Structure 1
Amino acid sequence: MPPIQPFPRQGNFYIAPSGPGYYTLFDFIRGRELPDRPKNPYLQWGQNANSSFNADFRYLDDPKNTQFDFFDPLKRIHVGDDWLFSTGGEIRDRYASIQNAALYNKKPQAGADDTYNLFRARVYGDLWYRDEFRFFVEFITADSSHQAIPASSSDVEQNDFLNLFVELKLFSLDDHGVYARIGRQELLFGSQRAISPSDWSNTRRTFQGVRGSWHDDDIEEDIFVVNPVIPDPSKISSIDDKQVFTGNWFKYRFNKDSSIDLYYLYLENNNLNVATGLYGAKGEYHINTVGSRLVGEQNQFLWDFEGAMQFGGWANQSVFAGFGVAGVGYYFKDLPTTPTLWLYYDYASGDPNPNSTNVHRTYTTLFPFGHSYFAGLDAIGRQNINDIHLELGTFPVDWVRCTLGYHVLSLDSAKDALYNPQGSVVRQDPTGKAGTDVGDAISSTVQFHLDNHQIFLVGYSHLFSGQFIKMTATTPGAAKDLDAVWVQYTYKW
């Protein structure tokens, strides 16, 4: 039985209904009521960031299994007693219509409205010899229609490798294997506030290097040394060898519902002039991040606390920065639509006097899942930001999930910038006269589970522009509210 890493809980998670019910639209149409929620290795709800190599089809080997699908013959194909092969993939298409897209502020496209389409396809093959050797390969192709503002580097990737690795069992410790994974691979840990494949992007984020892991029922221990892979639409993507990302991620489960994460991450970026330090000096940076997360539920109460501190060097400055998250929620399991309600506060430090002291105080975002946080605006990242927000998730029927969020967004430091999820500057007023009011935002999604392969998603986000957005705009269009509609269809097999 090759090991599978369980999918960790993201922030503001929702408790889905269980028990007898219709869990897909097609089951409802056919009047096929199930005794409980069906197993879904690709996960049923939310923006599914789970990596294909962690899709868990082990239930198919159970002689008592009663859940069948016409794609089952492609999974866990046993070749003799020792070999195991699986294959699968995904097709996804998304339509987007956005006003003042990404709060883009460079003329002539500043404040432009954008209507475009994103398409991607993925297919993988997974070969195991016992639990001792694994070869995994996943291809991706992604494309975008013409966009009004410059397309992101993560929008287009033609016929590339998303994952390409071998995994070796080195030895056993306490009856659980110690594994080394070598090659191109996605990384996903914890809430994905620090490390994620960033599934909302049209091309998923991946790395290249070595990862060692040991997992049992209670503990997950992972160490890695990798380089980021930089998407290249014209050829097979290669690594940025001037960036080195290393880490040690430890998880302990108190029980099936509650766990703690402890992590140390180190990012070194030696690209030319990537950091601006004291008096405008240009240079490199190296950032140490030490953090922890406590997440869980008990008696319908939910909690999600996470924080990290950073230290290191930034051009000719030292680094002292951090972020913190505090979330408490409640699951109303006996109310109609089984709502889950969260109250959160997100904070990431800014620099009150950028480039003017010996210390760089802006938290440096690493490789996060940007769309899942900050109202799904895709324009705001975890740097120099405060976000007080309410999140509500409901299930009107078992096969439909609705979410609604309300956010109050402000800068931590007025003279520092507003950053996007990739860590790039969106807007800045070095004088601080524009203030800190980024604005209020609403976010909502409606997700329809058509069957165990198909999901239809409609999303809407709106930022009511605050004083900071209006006063930093270079054109009247760039002072407008950001308004975004997404319609997405996904098919997985």
Structure 2
Amino acid sequence: MTRVGPIALIWLLLTSGSVVTAQADDRDKPAAKDPFDALKDIPLSPDGQVTLSLGGQLRIRSEFSRNPVFGLAAPERNDGVLMRTYLSAGLRIGQFLKTYVELVSGQAPVWNGTPPPTQLDRLDLLQGYGELMLPTDLGGIMIRGGRQEMSYGSSRLVSVRESPNVRRSFDGVRAAWIASSDARIDAFVTRPVLPQDGIFDDKSDPGQAFWGVYGTGQVPDLPALKIDLYYLGLDRQNARFAQGTADEHRHTVGARLFGEAGNLDWNVEAAYQFGQFGHDKIQAWTVSANFGYTFVNMPFSPRLGLNADAISGDGNLEDSTLGTFYPLFPKLPYFSEANLVAPANLLDIQPNVSLTLLPEVKLTLGWNPLWKQAQEDAFYGPAITPVAGTTGGTGRYIGQQFSTTLEWEVTDHLTLGGTYVNYVPGERVREAGGTSGSFAAGWATVSF
């Protein structure tokens, strides 16, 4: 039954997408109604003040990994099949009250070894919160309490973590002042949720506390330029870096400038971290940039892009200062779907090109050489932990990766995608026993 259901549903959506396209070309016929509209804003009271909206997602993903993390992680080969299902229900009461519940089931029927809880979580609460929205003359005020997802800015530091079966969520309270679609200030006090592999056993992480203020808005008199300003605080027990393991109390202050003008787009961000790591002090930083130019009048409307990151490491593992930047709760994978490296102690550039092959088909090609920012510090793997044997050494060059990603939005409800990444170690990683490897994945996502 598990195999028949998804295939039948995908076929139904493909067929419905064809019907929509055909009717869109026939101007004498009305546009087809989305069959899933019936699941949205279902009235539960005669006056329509109480409504229910239902939603969900099914994703099937196959992965083929050879020598992950340059062969420095086990096992040497892992071919996996991942299945995740989301089901959600949102109840709105009048104009001001809302409750939302979202369940997740992550399955890993094929996996080499024991799947991590981010891939195998049989059934649990991904989100469950109550929300109060209060209108004022200066904008709306939102107060939300419970389990919820959070994502800010370009997801460099706070993200839902899309690629694994189980997305990231937090337990806590969040308040927001929402002036418009472009201006908003959030404040929150939370703990990240630890996924477990059982049934309704996910829990708040007692070893971490996360709080902060995040604001976004438009730069006055510069309509093409937007800005984010933020402060993020983190308490973490038994934090592990190449310098050692200790409790940390870390503060992050940062800013992001982003926008577009004509065919040019940009996204530039910088952050500084300070605080305590055991008895030592923290002084770390990061600067990231993403620039792109789209040639709209050329075939396939190519966008030429250049991404670059400079992320601090620890130049002296014996002193009383920790210089390694910690990226908090970033999107993972970060630089490619291969999940090769974490954004800590890193220098990298990534020239890339995106082609719109068809209106709903996009191809992206990228090349990404990587270096350690501080030679004495370690190379940090996807779990944001130091990889054994990579501190010090005679060079900083980690290696390079080449990536190809193809995505096709078949209908409003069905998306297909695939990626291939090939990576080659540099001198420093070869010294630690690293070798070349590759990663490939394909997925189909049905959402309603």
Give the match's secondary structure for 1:333. coil
Partner of 2:426: 466
Partner of 2:3: none
Q: Per the alignment, do residues 84 and 31 of structure 1 end up closer, same or farther by CA in structure 2, a change over 3 Å counting? A: closer
Offset of 1:178 from its aligned partner?
Answer: 0.9
Give the match's secondary structure for 1:162. strand
CA contact (8 A) 2:103 2:125 kept: yes
- The answer for unaligned runs of 5 or more in structure 1 is 1-23, 36-64, 474-478
Question: Quick one: which amino acid aligns to residue 70 of structure 1?
Answer: P
Q: Per the alignment, do residues 163 and 293 of structure 1 end up closer, same or farther by CA in structure 2, a change over 3 Å counting? A: same
Partner of 2:79: 115
1:404 aligns with 2:396: no
Give the match's secondary structure for 1:223. strand
1:361 aligns with 2:332: no
Partner of 1:326: 289
Partner of 2:435: 480
Offset of 1:103 from its aligned partner?
Answer: 3.8
Q: Per the alignment, do residues 91 and 359 of structure 1 end up closer, same or farther by CA in structure 2, a change over 3 Å counting? A: same
CA contact (8 A) 1:276 1:315 kept: no
1:455 aligns with 2:419: no
What is the aligned counterpart of 1:260 among 222, 227, 243?
Answer: 227
Offset of 1:361 from its aligned partner?
Answer: 0.1
TM-score (normalised: structure 2): 0.89
What is the aligned counterpart of 2:161 among 185, 198, 204?
Answer: 198
Q: Per the alignment, do residues 275 and 381 of structure 1 end up closer, same or farther by CA in structure 2, a change over 3 Å counting? A: closer
Q: Per the alignment, do residues 29 and 172 of structure 1 end up closer, same or farther by CA in structure 2, a change over 3 Å counting? A: closer
Partner of 2:374: 413
Residues 325-372 of structure 1: per-residue CA shift (max 9 Å, x gap): 122211111111111111121111011122x1111000012001122x
What is the aligned counterpart of 2:254 among 270, 291, 297?
Answer: 291
Give the match's secondary structure for 1:381. coil
Question: Quick one: which amino acid aligns to residue 198 of structure 1?
Answer: R
CA contact (8 A) 2:23 2:31 kept: no
CA contact (8 A) 1:25 1:449 kept: no
What is the aligned counterpart of 1:244 among 186, 191, 209?
Answer: 209
1:446 aligns with 2:410: no
For residues 241 and 342 of structure 2, the distance between their equivalents in structure 1, rounded to whole angstroms, comes to: 19
Q: Per the alignment, do residues 492 and 256 of structure 1 end up closer, same or farther by CA in structure 2, a change over 3 Å counting? A: farther
For residues 78 and 390 of structure 2, the distance between their equivalents in structure 1, rounded to whole angstroms, comes to: 25
1:133 aligns with 2:93: no
For residues 33 and 174 of structure 2, the distance between their equivalents in structure 1, rounded to whole angstroms, comes to: 34
For residues 346 and 214 of structure 1, the distance between their equivalents in structure 2, rounded to whole angstroms, comes to: 31
Q: How many residues align?
A: 425
Offset of 1:376 from its aligned partner?
Answer: 2.9
Offset of 1:257 from its aligned partner?
Answer: 5.8
Offset of 1:81 from its aligned partner?
Answer: 3.2
CA contact (8 A) 1:379 1:419 kept: no
Q: Which range moved further: 336-345 or 148-157?
A: 148-157
For residues 96 and 292 of structure 1, the distance between their equivalents in structure 2, rounded to whole angstroms, comes to: 36
Partner of 1:394: 355
Offset of 1:145 from its aligned partner?
Answer: 3.2
Partner of 1:40: none
1:86 aligns with 2:53: yes
Question: Quick one: which amino acid aligns to residue 490 of structure 1?
Answer: T
Residues 265-285 of structure 1: per-residue CA shift (max 9 Å, x gap): 00001x3x334697x5x4200
Question: Quick one: which amino acid aligns to residue 420 of structure 1?
Answer: G
Q: Per the alignment, do residues 424 and 277 of structure 1 end up closer, same or farther by CA in structure 2, a change over 3 Å counting? A: closer
CA contact (8 A) 1:330 1:342 kept: yes
Give the match's secondary structure for 2:420. strand
For residues 342 and 99 of structure 2, the distance between their equivalents in structure 1, rounded to whole angstroms, comes to: 35
CA contact (8 A) 1:374 1:387 kept: no
Partner of 2:390: 429
Q: Per the alignment, do residues 275 and 448 of structure 1 end up closer, same or farther by CA in structure 2, a change over 3 Å counting? A: closer
Question: Quick one: which amino acid aligns to residue 130 of structure 1?
Answer: G
For residues 164 and 337 of structure 2, the distance between their equivalents in structure 1, rounded to whole angstroms, comes to: 12
1:26 aligns with 2:8: no
Give the match's secondary structure for 1:491. strand
Offset of 1:68 from its aligned partner?
Answer: 2.6
What is the aligned counterpart of 1:162 among 120, 126, 143?
Answer: 126
Q: Per the alignment, do residues 343 and 212 of structure 1 end up closer, same or farther by CA in structure 2, a change over 3 Å counting? A: same
CA contact (8 A) 1:95 1:486 kept: yes
Offset of 1:258 from its aligned partner?
Answer: 4.0
TM-score (normalised: structure 1): 0.81
Q: Per the alignment, do residues 34 and 220 of structure 1 end up closer, same or farther by CA in structure 2, a change over 3 Å counting? A: farther
Q: Per the alignment, do residues 283 and 456 of structure 1 end up closer, same or farther by CA in structure 2, a change over 3 Å counting? A: same
Partner of 2:41: 76
What is the root-mean-square deviation in Å for CA atoms of aligned residues? 2.3
Residues 271-305 of structure 1: per-residue CA shift (max 9 Å, x gap): 3x334697x5x420011000111111001111110
CA contact (8 A) 2:240 2:385 kept: no
CA contact (8 A) 2:378 2:392 kept: no
Partner of 2:5: none
For residues 198 and 320 of structure 2, the distance between their equivalents in structure 1, rounded to whole angstroms, comes to: 42
Question: Quick one: which amino acid aligns to residue 309 of structure 1?
Answer: Y
Partner of 1:172: 135
CA contact (8 A) 2:257 2:267 kept: yes
For residues 179 and 120 of structure 1, the distance between their equivalents in structure 2, rounded to whole angstroms, comes to: 30
CA contact (8 A) 2:345 2:374 kept: yes
Q: Per the alignment, do residues 140 and 211 of structure 1 end up closer, same or farther by CA in structure 2, a change over 3 Å counting? A: same
Give the strand-richer structure, 1 or 2: 2
1:210 aligns with 2:173: yes
Question: Quick one: which amino acid aligns to residue 484 of structure 1?
Answer: F
Give the match's secondary structure for 1:370. coil
Give the match's secondary structure for 1:425. coil
Aligned pairs (5 A) from 1:211-230 = 211-217=174-180, 218-230=182-194
- The answer for unaligned runs of 5 or more in structure 2 is 1-15
